[in-house]
Structure 1
């Protein structure tokens, strides 16, 4: 099994305590969508590396030491610039929450430019490349750098996965996602997201009558329609996954679909109460998707494992999962 390489920005997430600032108890977590995927895969004994840019100071060194300890290869990480990107989100909230505050301008990663990374060298020993729609949301230079990576990865026969993370607050440089993402999606073999992000980023229409009911069969049918359209537009793509998470007060409903070889597969619908941290559930699903495909599991097993991994992340504080494979498999057995 070759190495999985994740490309994106390492972030610090700051979450205020309930009594902040009377009690100055703001917590910090290592985050970033691509980082969460890398840490999950390392935790599941998949060879994985990370490519990003960090400033050359002690905090970066501390973060890199943590990644190395967790089993993530950091040899491709560049030391440049002066800032680590951050975001602020209250504990337990969703990263899509309107209250999220990003502080990523002029970060080391956002200042990367085309031709600053030797992709031929970085892709040595790599069999899978993962990126998300968050990186190209930052600016035209990072978007162009993503395409550089995709061109080289394609020439080398590397499997490419894309997570259609939509972050409205990041698309502020004059281009909307539909002007950027279709070109990048054209390289992907595996596309994960949801029916709404596919609409916003790839322009794939949603039938309002299907989604209005929020009933599982109707949502699965929309996922099938969306998946077939993605395959029609992007012939390199072989696998499409869609996640569905609905929150109401303290409860969460979660399930996912997987489209492969002309068939759609649905995970069990899972319900959660008293969740701890919603951040990173989609990234955990993406990691589960990669894990299942690399282990050549059957389609139903892939979506089941990924969905249960994401579900379990709801009860883990921080941005990345700490669940082991056997814990996820045990959860699957409990729900059979």
Structure 2
């Protein structure tokens, strides 16, 4: 059975209640996550064959985590064991990974010690039809970035579809190279790209209109998404599909969300989705990426793909934890009530 392989660092998310309340209560929720594992979890939940690859130390905590992954129906045979620790991060409840509240504790993790030649990628990619990675991994170090390129080149040589999420975590790029020095080399191997117009600018140097927020209409953002998608495909001819997401806060606690998918010279736009409140922002983008892979892997029509991915991502906002628990029926039953964004 050909599988979708997701590669990236597994992270423990510590989620304290803000303002020191976690100290007074003597408790702090912990979630097993990481962008690529969140994607794998969603895909397994939706019935697709998935393998997950990361690096974990040889200890009982890692054993427990591997058991958790196996219990989700994810093939854990791609997990390599070496190093001393599992990476983690602290994110106060209700905040977002893109803002200042996140505190990373992933230096010297097992995954961060990856370097070219550490892993037999040909063996890891056995029975793989699709490889998914993200821009978080190459942000960790020059060695990890070179390892990602080694993996993606191996996948490309085997004719495997490669997708990438252009997650931009500015606080991670601390090893002397800017994203623009690294990411274009990785993009050469990618068939499917997901991100947004600002990430494409920061990671790939694709121009962004500095006045786009002043314009502020959905039609302006959608038009910019098409221009960005066309620029990506012109610069990276292998890329067949580009998806962009737009997520805007609506005070005091709400959010509006819509997405685009560009393929074969045509752009498809999801409905605009609105909510007055959000339970947990973490993992919504990963859920969109999973929805994108889910539809493309099964060769669904582009409008169907972007609608499902957007609704899945939007539904994740109302779930506590890193990965979605929504079923395919949960997502599709909501789609039929929506009106496309004009």
Number of equivalent positions: 336
Partner of 1:55: 57
Residues 11-26 of structure 1: pairs in structure 2 closer than 5 A: 11-18=11-18, 19-26=21-28
Distance 2:74 2:83 in 1: 22
Partner of 1:260: 263
Partner of 1:308: 311
Answer yes or no: is 1:4 the counterpart of 2:7.
no
Contact 1:37–1:286 (Cα < 8 Å) also in 2 = yes
Distance 1:241 1:212 in 2: 23
TM-score normalized by the length of structure 1 = 0.98
Report the RMSD for the aligned CA atoms in angstroms.
0.9
Pick from 218, 221, 224 the counterpart of residue 223 of structure 2: 221
Partner of 2:99: 97
Answer yes or no: is 1:283 the counterpart of 2:286.
yes
SS in 1 for 2:27: coil
SS in 2 for 1:243: strand
Partner of 2:335: 332
Distance 2:266 2:113 in 1: 42
Q: Which moved more, 1:8-17 or 1:210-219?
A: 210-219
Which deviations, in whole Å up to 9, do the C-alpha atoms of 1:67-98 show, x marking residues without a partner? Answer: 10101100110111011000000112111111
Distance 1:85 1:328 in 2: 32
| Deviation (angstroms), 1:297 | 0.8
Distance 2:220 2:106 in 1: 38
| Deviation (angstroms), 1:31 | 1.2
Unaligned 5+ segments in structure 1 are none
Residues 185-264 of structure 1: pairs in structure 2 closer than 5 A: 185-248=187-250, 249-264=252-267
Contact 1:251–1:273 (Cα < 8 Å) also in 2 = yes
| Deviation (angstroms), 1:229 | 0.2
Partner of 2:115: 113
TM-score normalized by the length of structure 2 = 0.97
